[in-house]
Amino acid sequence: MVTIKDIAKIAGVSPSTVSRSLNDHPHISNKTKEKIKKIAEELGFEFNEAARTLNKKKTNTIGVIIPQFFDDMRGEIFFANLLGKLIKEAQLKGYHVRIEYEIEKNQIKKLVQSRSVDGLLLLNPYIKKEDIDFIIEKNIPYIFLHYVAENYKDKKLNYVRTNQEKGGYIATKYFIEKGYRNILTLGGLSINSEFIERTNGYKRALKEYNIKNEYILDTDVTFEAAKNAIKKMKNNLKNIDAIFAQTDLMALGVIEALNELNYSVPKDIPVMGFDNIQLGTYFKPRLTTIEQPIAKLAKIGVKKIIELINKKIEINQIIDPKLVIRESA
Amino acid sequence: MVTIKDIAKIAGVSPSTVSRSLNDHPHISNKTKEKIKKIAEELGFEFNEAARTLNKKKTNTIGVIIPQFFDDMRGEIFFANLLGKLIKEAQLKGYHVRIEYEIEKNQIKKLVQSRSVDGLLLLNPYIKKEDIDFIIEKNIPYIFLHYVAENYKDKKLNYVRTNQEKGGYIATKYFIEKGYRNILTLGGLSINSEFIERTNGYKRALKEYNIKNEYILDTDVTFEAAKNAIKKMKNNLKNIDAIFAQTDLMALGVIEALNELNYSVPKDIPVMGFDNIQLGTYFKPRLTTIEQPIAKLAKIGVKKIIELINKKIEINQIIDPKLVIRESA
DNA sequence: CTGAAAGCGCTTACAG
DNA sequence: CTGAAAGCGCTTACAG
């Protein structure tokens, strides 16, 4: 493998000069610079990353911590999407991403103590208080992405996340403005607070329009559970004008249940989802839904953690979801 | 950050001894070892990764090269799935994965020349001949995963991939043994040879049973294209007993088209897919399909590249797909 | 069983 | 504008 020393020998200069030339240091004559760059190019030289990291104490790596298990398929789709976008965003900015499932107990500490990353993107609501304390104490740049640590509400944490409450609000308001008054929302049973927030948005919209009738039903966050829930309440469906399911997969379950009960969607009962997964665009009726801004989440998350690493900022950000109107509602 | 020197000072020994103790070098007294390990533990010491990499010329990193664009949604689902599994498999074996979209032209060379990875998992059919030549010339451990480079058929390359031909064969044979004789297969228009291979499997099965009627139709690899193709041939459908669509998404498109044309699936025309994506388990009829062995692909791919890095083996492997019988066929 | 020394491939403060 | 030297944090051949 070719090193700076090899180039120095060929060019008849010192390794210092080679280093400075290749790094475009200002006080080097253009003649030397060009000569050295040409030799480097010809030999296919690239800086040894480990040597640079050791010397500069900078890895250009962002650690991404993800949970080992997902509750459901939905989590997997979401994560897979987000990870792909994180990788790409980081790469575009000259960083790369080191993704680790949280498996061992001291994983975050090891990652930090071994100086393997410059900062952390925490994509995991289950991060232990002990780890968070450690990150803060050591002053490691970090951002909670999408989630904010559930078990550590008291401290002010850095985060970039979606405004779930607003998503619930937009969905509900959409129905209200179309004239519906008896709106059922299907929330999720999960320790994650996103469903609570969406339901809060639902409530706020109703309140704003002075609607007293709240229909809230929480089920497991799956296609099947949502489908079964609707089938079980078949005798009460005549009271319902519209359904806001808090995930797309649940919305698809709801639609299948309604079809089997001979309700037409959206004519008899319109259905709205949440997430905007590809899946929702395939089957008829195409799903109207609230879009999770995954691309934005990735873009802003990567941008902010890099800024934090370079000490430029320290601000939280909440991203708005977006209504996607198709056919189901 | 705590270093080996700090520990040496506290323990009253040399850095060499600390290094050897922490690495469980044989000729160190247990007393010293224990003392030093205790101090290291108390201080939260971890080896500096860059320093170790620089010295040992081993990164414990597997480079994963993926294409920047996917033809279709199917590609994205497949990749997202595979990447997640690769990350996990590598982590379980003490490696990690550095995923790079192929964006710049000299990306693979840079990755190799900067000594950032110990080996490469190539998840990209479009790798340039020049890069392949470079990898082979530099003797970099590499494996083509899933794909084998399209534009470099002549050389013997390392690969781990799915037996697509066998998948096509199994699917077709399943129909034949159920008594169907007029089987349409919907292949994909793609430079990727997987569809050609599946169609070859289809042909082999027909031949084996002396069936002369081949019905082969190639369309874009999308839900819509498959759906439209079936709708366009509505007048010829009466000749068809069964349909083998070469992706699940296409199979779902076929089913939607058949429903709209008032054919019942599987009663009138059974439909088989390929891939076994989650999506296929949601809607009725649940999709019968051929499973792409993604988990195995990841597991074997990671295992083999690590073995290659450690010079243990040099063998290719083809993994068999699996028939998943549900309701649609 | 343990230590001093050299080296991995860079960068940069210091000196000229 | 350029070089010699020290240092980043480890490992290990050599010596004792």
Chain B neighbors of A46, CB-CB under 8 A: 109-110, 113-114
Q: Is the CB of B55 under 7 A from strand C?
A: yes
**Closest approach of A208 to chain B, Cα-based (Å):** 37
Minimum CA–C1' distance nucleotide for A16: D3
Neighbouring C-beta atoms of residue B159, cutoff 10 Å: 19
> How many angstroms separate the CA atoms of A43 and A22, rounded?
13
Q: How crowded is residue B94: how many other Cβ atoms within 10 Å of its Cβ?
A: 8
Burial class (CB in 10 A: 0-12, 13-18, 19+), B210: exposed
Q: Which of B249, B240, B247 is nearest to B268 (CA)?
A: B240
Shortest alpha-carbon distance between residue B204 and chain A (Å) = 33
Q: In this complex, do A114 and B47 lie within 8 Å of one another by their Cβ atoms?
A: yes
What DSSP assignment string belongs to B65-81?
A: EE-S--SSHHHHHHHHH
Using a CB-CB distance cutoff of 8 angstroms, which residues of chain B are in contact with residue A103?
A: 91-92
Q: Give B256's contacts in chain A (Cβ within 8 Å).
A: 282-284
Which residues have a Cβ under 8 Å from the Cβ of B232 and sit 6 or more positions away?
none
Tokens of B48: 């500096």
Comparing C-alpha atoms, which of A219, A221, A269, A277 is closest to residue A248? Answer: A277
Q: Take residue B76 and report the two structure tokens written for it.
A: 């994205």
Residues of chain A with pLDDT under 50: none
Report the C-alpha gap between A273 and A293 in whole angstroms.
Answer: 14
The per-residue pLDDT for A150 is 64
pTM of the shown model: 0.87
**Domains of chain A listed by start with CATH number:** 4-47 (1.10.260.40), 61-162+295-319 (3.40.50.2300), 164-291 (3.40.50.2300)
Nucleotide D8's nearest residue (CA vs C1') is A55
pLDDT computed for residue B27 by the predictor: 79
Cα torsion A167, A170, A176, A179 to 10°: value is: -120
Minimal-distance CA residue of chain A relative to B116: A49
Provide, as residue numbers in chain B, all residues whose Cβ is less than 8 Å from the Cβ of A91.
100-101, 103
Which residues lie closer than 8 Å to B69 by C-beta, 6 or more apart? none
Looking at the complex, report in whole angstroms how far the Cα of residue B110 sits from the nearest Cα belonging to chain A: 6
Residue contact B223–A80, C-beta within 8 A: no
pLDDT of A153: 62
Alpha carbon separation from A31 to A20, A136, B51, B241, B320 (Å, rounded): 13, 48, 34, 76, 60
What's the confidence (pLDDT) of residue A33? Answer: 86
Cα–Cα nearest to B122, from B71, B72, B62: B62
CB contact under 8 A, A50 and B48: no
Contact B49 A282 (CB under 8 A): no
Residue nearest to nucleotide D5 (CA to C1'): A16
Distance CA B177, CA B48 (A): 61
User: What residues of A are in contact with residue B279 (Cβ under 8 Å)?
Assistant: 279
Strands (E), chain B: 61-66, 96-101, 119-122, 142-145, 159-162, 183-188, 215-219, 242-245, 271-272, 289-291, 317-319, 322-324
In angstroms, the CA A143 to CA A123 distance is: 9
**Residue from A256, A182, A251, A199 nearest A221 by CA:** A251
Cα nearest neighbour of B282 on chain A: A223
* Chain D footprint bases within 7 A of protein beta carbons: 1-5, 7-13
In the structure, how far is the CA atom of residue A264 from the C1' atom of nucleotide D8, in angstroms? Answer: 69
* Other beta carbons within 10 Å of A221: 24
Measured in angstroms, what separates residue B225's CA from nucleotide C1's C1'? 74
Asked if A278 CB < 7 A from strand C, the reply is no
Query: Which of A73, A98, A278 is nearest residue B73 as measured by Cβ atoms?
Result: A278
Which residue in chain B is spatially nearest to A2 when comparing CA positions?
B113
Q: What is the pLDDT along chain B (329 residues), one digit of tens a residue?
A: 899 999 998 988 989 999 999 998 887 888 888 889 999 999 999 999 999 999 999 999 999 999 877 656 677 778 888 888 999 999 999 999 999 988 888 889 999 999 999 999 999 878 888 899 899 888 899 999 988 766 666 667 888 999 999 999 999 999 999 999 999 999 998 777 889 999 999 999 999 999 999 999 999 988 889 999 999 999 999 999 999 999 999 999 999 999 999 999 999 999 999 999 877 787 778 899 999 999 999 999 999 999 999 876 666 677 778 878 777 77
Min CA distance, A115 vs chain B (Å)? 6
Q: From its phi and psi, is residue A322 left (phi > 0), alpha (psi between -120 and 50) or beta?
A: beta
Q: Find the residue in A nearest to B109 (Cα).
A: A44
Cα–chain center distance at A216: 27
Q: Are A294 and A82 in contact (CB under 8 A)?
A: yes
pLDDT at site A312: 64
pLDDT at residue number A278: 78
Name the closest residue (CA) to the C1' of nucleotide C5: B16
Residue A47 beta carbon within 7 A of nucleic strand C: yes
State, as a whole number of angstroms, the distance between the CA of B257 and the C1' of D13. 73
Q: Which residues of B touch A98 (CB under 8 A)?
A: 96, 98
Tell me how far apart the alpha carbons of residues A160 and B122 are, in angstroms, rounded to a whole number.
Answer: 33
A48 touches strand D (CB under 7 A): no
